[in-house]
Amino acid sequence: MPKFQYKFKAFVIATISVLLVMLIDYPLEVVSKKAFLRSQVKADFNWFKSDLNKQLKQLNDFFVENDNLTPSCTPATLLALRKAHFNIQNIAELGIRDPKGNLICTSWQKLKKPMKTSGIKPTKSKRLRFFGPIAANFIGETALIIAKTRSDGYEINALLPQSLLNRRINELDRNYTYVATVDARKGKVVTVVGDYTLPINYPLFPLTKPLTVKGVVFDDAKKHFLIIEPLKYLPRLALMIAIDENVLYEDVYYPSYSHVALYIIIFLLIFIFTEVYQQNYQSRKSELRNYLKQGRFVNYYQLIWDSNIKQFAGAETLVRLKHPIEGVLTPNRFLPDIESNHLNISLTYAVIKNLIADSAELIGWDSNIKININITGEHLKDAYFKQLVFALNAVIPHLVLELTENELIDLDDQEVIQTMQDFKDQNILIAIDDFGTGYAGLQYLKALPLDILKIDRSYVSAIGTESQLAILLDALIELAKTIGIDVVAEGVETQEQADYLLSKGVFLHQGWLYHKASPASQIIGNLEKRIL
C-alpha cells in the first residue's frame, strides 16, 4: 500500500477518533463552563450579600448598644452617632425619630425643632426593619432607611443612599441585567439597578429561603440566571441578582485553548500510531507473504506409533519457518502473525504443496502410512483448498484431516457439511484434535463424521498424578470406545505413560518418547525402526 494511502487512512481514523472524543468531551466542557460561570455570578452575589449583611450587623449592633442613648442631641449622643457614621460604610446619615415619627437628631447636627418625615412611624416591633426608598432632602437623593425601635419608643435609623448602592454594584465586572433589593414577602422592589424582570410561571414570593433560577423564560422574553436570598440580619429584605443567559454564556460554546490543544495531541498521537501500525502490519504481512513465495515454510513430520503392529503407522504434518537470520522457527514464533494477517489458508496451501513434494519419500517405504494435516473450519469453505486436498489424496491415499476442537465450525452450514462428506466419499479420514480442551467436543462427536479422536497432551501428562485430568482421561477413552472411533494419545513422553495407555487399550501414541518432528528426508530411518 502506498505511503499516501497509509497517511490518508491514518488521517481518517484520527479524525473520526477526535470527533468521537469531542462528541463526549465537548458537551461536558460546555456544562463545566456554564457551571463555572454560574459559580462566578454566585461569588459576586455572595460578595455583595456579605457586604450588606456586614453593614446590617454593624447597624443592628450599634442600635442595640445605644438603646439608652439620650434622644435629645446631647454632645454624647452626637458623638456616638458620628462615630458610627464614620465606622459603618455606605451610611449617609444616622438619626433619631420620636414616637410620632419626627426627626429630632442626626449624626450631622442637632435640629432646631423636630422635623416631620415621610415613612411609617416607629413600630412596636423591636426587630430591625426597613422602609423607603425616600427622598432625603439633606443628601439630595433617595435612600433606603434601616431602622430599629428602641425600648423607649424612639427610633434610631440609618440612611443608605442609592448612589452608594449603585457604586458598589458598578464594581462588579459582569454585565448584569439587574441587581435589586426587594420586599421578601410581597416582592415589591425597594432598590434596583438595571432592568427588573421576573420569571414567568415561577413564583418567588413570599421568599423564605435562597433560590436559584436558570433556564427559565422571564417576562422580557429572555432566559436569565437569577439568584435571590433573604438577608441574614433583615430577612424581610432580599437581595436579587440576574443576568441574561445569552450574555453569561456568550463564549461558552467556543472550545478552550487547553481542549483544542488536547484534541490536536490526540489527533497526532492516533495519526502517528495508526500510520506506524499500518506500516508494521503491512510490512509484517508482506514479509510473511514473501516467505510463502520463497518457500521458507517447510514441513516437519512427527510419527505416530502403533503398539499393536510395533511400527510407525502415521505422521502428523507440522510446519516450520526457515528464517533467513534466526534459523528454523516453531509455530509459536510465527503462527499468531499468520492468523492476525489472515494468511492461514495461504499457509495451508504451502503445507499441502510441500506434502505433495514429500509424498514420494513418505509413502515410498509404506504406502499404507496415514498422513495428518491440520485444518480449520475456514478451510472447509475454500474451494481451492478442496481441490488441493483431492490432488494430495491422489498421491497420499491415506489422508487424515485434523480439526481442532477449539475451532468453531458452523454445523448448520450445508457447504461445510457437504465438503466433509465429499472428503469422506474419497476415503479421507476426519480427526478431532486436542480433544478435551475446547467447548464443542461432544457436539462435534455427535454431528461430524469423525474417524479418530486425538486426546490432548494435558491429559496424558496427568497420568500417574491425582489430577482431575487423570480421571477425565479414562472417561474420554471409554467414550471413544463406546462410539467406536480410534484414539491417538498426544504428548507421550515417558514409558510410564505409554504403559498406562496400553493398559487402557490405547495403542496409537504420538510424542517425544517415539519421535521428534523432523523433515521428510530424515524420517526414513525412523519408519524402518522397530520399538520392541
Given CA atoms 74, 76, 79, 85 in this order, what sign does their dihedral have?
Answer: negative
pLDDT at 530: 45
pLDDT at 3: 62
Report whether 151 contacts 166 (CB < 8 A): no
pLDDT at 110: 82
Q: 0.85 exceeded by the pTM?
A: no
Residue (of 351, 346, 323, 127) closest to 237 by Cα position = 127
CA 6 remoteness from chain centre: 28
CATH class name, domain 295-528: alpha beta
pLDDT at 532: 36
Tell me the CB-side half-sphere exposure of residue 140, using CA atoms within 13 A. 0
pLDDT at 527: 57
Query: Which residue matches cell numbers 528464517?
Result: 323
Q: Which amino acid appears at position 227 of this protein?
A: I
Q: Check: CATH 3.30.450.20 for 66-164?
A: yes
CA 263 – CA 257 distance, rounded (Å): 10
CA 236 remoteness from chain centre: 50
User: Where along the chain do its domains lie?
Assistant: 66-164, 295-528
Report whether 238 contacts 229 (CB < 8 A): yes
Report whether 96 contacts 108 (CB < 8 A): no
User: Which phi and psi (to 5°) does residue 201 adopt?
Assistant: 55, 35
Split the chain (532 residues) into runs of 10 and give each run's mean pLDDT. 68 86 88 93 92 90 89 89 87 88 87 78 81 73 87 89 75 83 91 91 93 95 96 93 94 85 89 75 78 94 94 94 92 91 93 93 84 92 93 94 78 86 94 76 79 93 92 92 93 96 97 94 66 39
CA 405 – CA 410 distance, rounded (Å): 13
User: Which phi and psi (to 5°) does residue 376 adopt?
Assistant: -125, 175
In 10 A of CB 258, how many CB atoms?
9
CA 192 – CA 523 distance, rounded (Å): 104
CA 55 – CA 31 distance, rounded (Å): 36
pLDDT at 513: 95
SS3 content of the chain, % helix, strand, coil (to 5): 45, 25, 30
